[in-house]
Amino acid sequence: MKKAGLFFLLISSLAMAQKSSLEQKINSITTGKKATVGVSVLGFENNFKYSKNGDKELPMLSVFKFHIGCAVLNLVDKGKLSLDQKLFFKKEDMLENTWSPIRDKYPDANVSLSLGEVLDYTVALSDNNGCDLLLKLIGGTQTVQKFMDSKGVKGVQIKRNEDDMHKNWKTQYDNVSTPNSAVLVLKKFYDGKLLSKKSTDYLMQIMLGTKTGTNKIVEQLPKSTPVAHKTGASGKYEKGLTVAENDIGIITLPNGKHYAIAVFVNNSTESDAVNCRMVSDISKAVWDDFNK
Question: Distance between CA atoms of 94 and 115, rounded to whole angstroms?
Answer: 16
Q: What is the CA radius of gyration of the chain?
A: 19
Active-site residue flag, 62: yes
Active-site residue flag, 45: no
Beta carbons within 8 Å of 128's beta carbon, 6+ residues apart: 62, 95, 98, 99, 100, 162, 166
Give me the catalytic one of 62, 126, 268, 280: 62
CB 184 within 8 A of CB 42: yes
CB 158 within 8 A of CB 67: yes
Per-residue burial over 193-223, b = 16 or more CB atoms within 10 Å of its CB, e = otherwise: ebbeeebbebbbebbeebebbebbbbbbbee
Give me the catalytic one of 40, 126, 162, 245: 162
Dihedral Cα 65, 183, 220, 247, nearest 10 deg: 30
Beta carbons within 8 Å of 220's beta carbon, 6+ residues apart: 280, 281, 283, 284, 287
Q: Mind telling me the catalytic residues?
A: 62, 162
